[in-house]
Structure formats: C-alpha cells, structure tokens
Amino acid sequence: MTKKKITSSKKTERLKRNLARTILQYISGKRYSPLTVEELIDQLSIPESVHQTFFSALDSLVKEDELALSRGRYQLRQEENQLVSGTISVHPVKGFGFVSVSGLDKDVFIPKQYMGNAVNGDTVEIEITGSAPKGPEGRVIAILKRSRSHLGCTILEKEKSHYLAHAMLLGPQKTVYVKPSRKCKLDVGDRIICKVLDWNTNESAVSAEFVTRIGNISDPSCDVSAAIEEFELQSDFSKEAIEEAKAYGKRISSKGRLDLTKLETVTIDPDTAKDFDDAISLTQDEKGHFFLGVHIADAAWYVKKGSHLDSEAFARCNSTYFPGTCLPMLPEALSTELCSLKPNVKRLTISVLSEFDPTGSLIDTQIVRSCIKSRKRFTYEEAFEVLEKRKKSPYLPLLERMVALCKLFKQKRRERGSIDFAMSDGKIVVDEKGAPVKIVQVDYDITHQMIEEFMLKANEIVSIHLAGLGKEQIFRVHEEPSNEAFEDFYSYARALGFFLPSKPSPADLQQLFEKAKDSPLAPQLSVSFIRSMKQALYSPENIGHFGLALEHYCHFTSPIRRYTDLVIQRLLFDEVADDADLSAIALACSEKERLSMRAENSVVLLKKLRLAAAALEMSPSKSYTVAITKTKPFAIFFEVGEFALEGSVHVSELGNDYFEYNPKTLSFRGSRTGRTFSIGSQVSVRLASVDLIRQNASWEIASQKRR
C-alpha cells in the first residue's frame, strides 16, 4: 500500500471507532427505542459521505456482541433476559397488561398469552423478553403478591356442586367456580362478592366462595354499589373524619386574608355539580390589560396534614364520578358545603391574581390566601345562553371579557404546538333508580373552553412559582411519544385522505385537525391520536407535559376532588413534605386515578348497554346507519351514536363473499361482488344481542338475514 492509502485507511478506522462510540452512547440512552439503520442515520445526522463507514461500525458492534439486530432494528445485546418486578395493569376487555417497573423509563407490555393468570394490581415478577418500537415486552414468571382476596362476580348458571360466574376484572376468558351458600340461594344474574379460595394455575378458572349478594344485573340501582365493591373503592368516611369536618361549623373567619369579596366573581360548572372549587374574576383597564383572578377553594386550610380528614382523602386520592352520583374525596360537610364556592356566601380561597397584556402575555402575578363571595353560580348552558344573547344577565360584559382572554390563551397554546381537540362528550342521564334515560351530547363550546384555559394558566403559573422558589412539587407530566408510537395514527389519517409528510411536525398535526374539524370522523381521528400517546400521570420529576406543550405544569385548581391539588396548596404556604412523601403521593394518586377511571367506565358502559337492550326489546329489527371508524384484518369497527357504543362485525359476517383485507388502504374488498368496507364509508347495522353480564353487544350487517 502507498503511504497515502495507509494514511487514508487510518483515518477511516479512527472515524469508524468514533462512530461506534457515538452509536453505543446513543443506544445506551434511557429513552432509546430500537431503530433501523436509516432511522439511526437520521437521528444522529450522519452525513452521506460517511454512510459506508457508519454501516461498517454497526456491523462490527453486532459481531462483537455489543449490539443485537432483530427484525432490522438495533438494540443493546442482553446476556440473558432480565428479571424484574412491578405492578401490572390489565386491559379489562382485551386482556393484555402493562407492568410498571421502578427504574425503567417505559412500562413493559405483556401480551395476553403471557399474562400467567395475573389480574389487575398484582405485584408480579416478569422476564423482559425483547423490545418493540413502543417499548419493552415481557411475560409473567411469578405472581409475588395478589392485589385482592375478593372478586365481584355475576352468576352465569348453576351446576350440581357450584355456580359458574363471570368476573369483569378477570376478562372474558376466565370463569369463576363459586361454592354455594346455605344462607343465600343465588339466581342467574345475581351480582355477588366472593372470596377467592384458589387462583389456580389453570388460566380458565378461579375457585371462590360466596360472601354477599349486592343485587341482580336486571336492577340498575345496584350498578354503582357493585362497582364500589368490585373495584374496592372507599365509600364511607370514618366517624373521626366526619366529626373533624363538622367541627368547623358553617361560619368562616377571613382574618389575615386578602379581602376580595368586592370583586365581581362567578363560578361556571356543569348543571349537576355541587363541589364548586374554582371561581373567576376578570377586569380590563383602558390600556387593554386583563386582570384575571382564579380563586380556588382553600381545602388545605381545613384538611391538615396528619389529620383524620387527610388520611381519608389520601385513601381515596380523588373523587369518583358515576352517572347521577359521586364518591367524594372529602366529607360532604366540606366538599359540598364549607369548601364549595357557593354564591352569596364568604369562602376561603387561594387566589392566583395575574395581569396580561392585550396579546395575552403574562406581565405580573401573585398568589395569596384570600376570601371571596361569588356573585353568581352559572351552569355552562346558562353562560352560553347569555353569550348568545338568548338570556339577559348583568354579567354579560364579564363573560365577554372571558371569551376575549380565552381566545388569546388559545392562540398562545397553538403557537406552542399544543393541539386543541374541542371534542363534545356524551353524558348519560339516569332516573332516581339508576336506570339510564338518555344520552345528552355536551358540546365543548366557548364556555367550557374559557374555564379550561383559565385553569390551565393557573396550574402553569403555580408550577413555575414553586419551581422559582426552589421547592419540590408534584408535577402533572405527559411523556413525549416516539415517532413509532404515532405510526398507526399516521396510517389511519392517511387512509382517511388527509395529507401528512413522512415525519409530521406539531404544525402539520395542527393543520390536520383544523382540516378535520368539520369532518364526521373528527371525533375518531382525535381518539386515535390520543390513544397513540401515553397517559399523563403524577411525578416529582419534571419531564414536561407533551399534550399541553408546557415545561412546567401541576394540578392545583381542584383540591376538593384531587389530593395532589391539596398537596400543592400546602407547598405554596410552606407546609413542606419531604421528597419521599411526594414520590409516594404521586405514585398513589396516579394508581388511584386509573382505578377510578376503570370503575367509572365500567358503570358508564353498563348504562349504555342497558339503553341498547331496551331499544332492542322495543324494536328488534331497527337498523342504524354508522360510519366505519377502524378496520383490522379480522373485523370492521364503528360508533353507534344513539348509544355512544363502539361496535364491530367480524369479516366472516360481512356478507356472502370472500373479503380480502388491504393493509395499505385499511379496507376490505369482496372478491366476487367488489363490495368494499373502508374507513369513513357508511354501513347499516342491526343490534343482534346484548349481554349485560359480560357487558358486550353483538352487531350484524342489516342486509344480512337473521339466523
């Protein structure tokens, strides 16, 4: 070799070593997910001139067992599969799980077939078997600690020596064998609590004995009480906590507080609300500056750390809201009385008083303990009627100022890259016996938006304020997802006909939702996007809030119904918890939030199914025109608006034809008839049956003859 070639070879080798070192450092990072070579080149900004050397560095790392190449993606090689332990969360319908492991940046996904008979909340030992674009995967090796000893079940049938029962918590595949009781004869449909005798290694059966009967599935009045028992929620307060709450009486002392009772202050809440924990005041000067007051019930003044009230609140961590009723975090003497910001009575508050310029930029703020007197209790509907000039009110100028400032805040949010969905919501109306009457669509109009914007702003200001003081706090965090996590959503949006570049920016996504705003599939597009993201949770470590595009964010504005907000109030006024307390509180509140959500969703689903069952009984042949919202290789999915239920029809039931699935267009096409089923297309479906015990409904194509 010539001297020139030797020098060039040495340079190439040196570059190769440097690239190998860079690759290892990047792949060893906590947030790394397995990537292809093209994705690595893009992420590391490798110039085209050194691509061949980069390929060679990767090959060497694989040969030296530093990296593993699996399905075209690179990751660190593991000597043996890692064994770790954590708490498992199980999907109530699909049966797969996620294990939260201390020290791991991402939860470990457990496929349904590798659940090992674990149920929601169990402490399990798992083996991490590999990694996928969305995170690590594993299987359950052992169940270290059961989360419960009792189950809520519904009787399916009676056999000679036992009853067969279904437990929603265990999913659709498992049956519970219940030993009969001499004390109580059970009928099909009876909802019971039973004590588990043997979880068994057989994944299809659990042995249990009868403990108590709640009611029958035919009786809607026991839906909430059954959910309370099934999800082991706290329904009663201790005598000591109730006495502590009542001891405050009904009169308050505002001594030492900033008196804001002269301010024009109002509350705006849902028509069913009783716990009014936030009130708003807003003035504007001749320069166009806004002076916003967000006044929050001072629950921390009443709920002292270490008290019986505090213990009861922490045992719940949040209020749980069911159709027509609520399990409050605090006794009613506080939650709906002394803390609730009712009109025309003095109430103790913590006020975030802020000045904004005409563009909505923050100029100054202060946070003080205060006393207010709300002038008016608005419902969202009433406030909207006033703004629409359909109802007269002396508070119209105040509401119009709120709208003006809200629009400025929304513009700031758009500029940050946050996406505003403005999705409507279906609210189930029940009668005094708990029977569902109808579903009312609640539009996310400007009155909802302005209250949300003011609460978001107050939460952000408080979080920044605490950080500026150097105080630890509980953040509301939302992790930024990887591009891989969004791939399904991108494919879905493109299948609907929306343009997206290969690597969409926040601005691209904002434009997408702006274009989709008037589309009938806008709700499904929003839901698909939200499902692509991780759940927000509480943490003493600040990783920011991706969904809101904020660096600092906490929950402060709902201390009557959220324990984290109560803790933030204490931190504001030097009632400091140590770091260990904050970590434990954040973890407990995140877990209890998910538990309440599962309980709420279970009751809401059952109420919807009751509406559907009643409609089926009245009109068995009625058909419903729906739009296909999703397709999988085995079925089409749709939303039935009358009941706000998602339904599906298996590919084998689509018609008298052989339907082939096209993964690129996410559609089915009949090989003989050419009939297609694609996302967005309309189809007529009919309700075939409703199973209240297993909580599901079966649908069929309306053109098909009933069997």
Q: What is the pLDDT of residues 135-150, one digit of tens each?
A: 788 888 888 998 888 9
Residue 3 has pLDDT above 80, yes or no: no
Residue 163 shares a structural domain with residue 109: no
- In angstroms, the Cα distances linking 474 to 303, 553, 564 are 18, 9, 7
CATH number at residue 68: 1.10.10.10
DSSP code string of 376-396: EEEEHHHHHHHHTTSS--TTH
3-state helix, strand, coil in the chain (%, to 5): 35, 30, 35
Residue 700: count other Cβ atoms within 10 Å of its Cβ: 20
Q: Compute the Cα dihedral for 380, 381, 385, 388 and give only its sign.
A: positive
Residue 118 shares a structural domain with residue 192: no
H or E element: which one contains 406?
helix 396-416
Q: 308-316 and 239-246 are packed helices; what angle lies between their axes, rounded to 10 degrees?
A: 120
Q: Which amino acid is residue 396, in one-letter code?
A: L
- Would 588 be classed as within a structural domain? yes
Confidence bin at 259 (pLDDT 50/70/90)? very high
The domain of 97 spans 82-145
- Would 254 be classed as within a structural domain? yes
pLDDT of residue 664: 83
Please tell me the number of Cα atoms within 13 Å of 305 on its side-chain side: 15
pLDDT of residue 208: 92
pTM for this model (two decimals): 0.83
Residue 438 has pLDDT above 80, yes or no: yes
CATH number at residue 631: 2.40.50.140
pLDDT of residue 707: 47
Picking from 76, 102, 133, the residue at the C-terminal end of a domain is 76
Residue 303 shares a structural domain with residue 427: yes
Cβ–Cβ under 8 Å, residues 345 and 577: no
Residue 230 has pLDDT above 60, yes or no: yes
The Cα 493–Cα 5 span in angstroms is 52
Residue 351 shares a structural domain with residue 465: yes
Round the average pLDDT of the chain to a whole number and report it. 89
Confidence bin at 282 (pLDDT 50/70/90)? very high
Instruction: Pick the more confident residue, 420 or 542.
Output: 542
Confidence bin at 38 (pLDDT 50/70/90)? confident
Picking from 60, 76, 92, the residue at the C-terminal end of a domain is 76
Q: Compute the Cα dihedral for 8, 9, 11, 12 and give only its sign.
A: positive
Q: H helices then E strands: how many in the chain?
A: 16, 33
CATH number at residue 126: 2.40.50.690
Residue 469 shares a structural domain with residue 372: yes
Residue 103 has pLDDT above 80, yes or no: no
Lowest mean pLDDT, pick from 78-87, 261-270, 289-298, 659-668? 78-87
**Closest-CA residue to 341 (of 278, 252, 251):** 278
Residue 113: count other Cβ atoms within 10 Å of its Cβ: 10
Cβ–Cβ under 8 Å, residues 118 and 143: yes
Cβ–Cβ under 8 Å, residues 524 and 630: yes
The Cα 705–Cα 707 span in angstroms is 6
Picking from 602, 633, 652, the residue at the C-terminal end of a domain is 602
pLDDT of residue 512: 85
Q: What is the mean pLDDT of residues 149-163?
A: 90
- In angstroms, the Cα distances linking 297 to 54, 223, 307 are 60, 32, 19
Distance from chain centroid for Cα 424: 16
Cβ–Cβ under 8 Å, residues 131 and 117: no
683: Cβ contacts below 8 Å, ≥ 6 apart = 625, 626, 627, 628, 636, 638, 677, 701
Residue 21 shares a structural domain with residue 163: no
Instruction: Pick the more confident residue, 94 or 664.
Output: 664
Confidence bin at 157 (pLDDT 50/70/90)? very high
- Would 512 be classed as within a structural domain? no
pLDDT of residue 363: 97
- Would 517 be classed as within a structural domain? no
Residue 204 shares a structural domain with residue 320: no
Residue 258 shares a structural domain with residue 186: no
- Would 509 be classed as within a structural domain? no
Give pLDDT tens digits for 300-357. Answer: 999 999 999 999 999 999 999 999 999 999 999 999 999 999 999 999 999 999 999 9
Lowest mean pLDDT, pick from 240-254, 418-432, 466-480? 418-432
Instruction: Pick the more confident residue, 91 or 690.
Output: 690
Residue 344: count other Cβ atoms within 10 Å of its Cβ: 9
pLDDT of residue 575: 67
Residue 296 shares a structural domain with residue 353: yes
pLDDT of residue 473: 94
Rounded to a whole number of angstroms, the CA Rg of the chain reads: 29
- Would 494 be classed as within a structural domain? no
- Would 126 be classed as within a structural domain? yes
Residue 262 has pLDDT above 90, yes or no: yes
pLDDT of residue 117: 79
Q: What is the mean pLDDT of residues 98-105?
A: 78
Q: What is the mean pLDDT of residues 687-694?
A: 95
Residue 173 shares a structural domain with residue 303: no
- Would 198 be classed as within a structural domain? yes
Residue 243 shares a structural domain with residue 384: yes
Q: What is the mean pLDDT of residues 235-258?
A: 93
21: Cβ contacts below 8 Å, ≥ 6 apart = none
Instruction: Pick the more confident residue, 494 or 245.
Output: 245
Residue 316: both structure tokens together? 């719940």
Domain count for the chain: 5
Give pLDDT tens digits for 623-648. Answer: 999 989 888 899 999 999 899 999 99
Residue 350 shares a structural domain with residue 471: yes
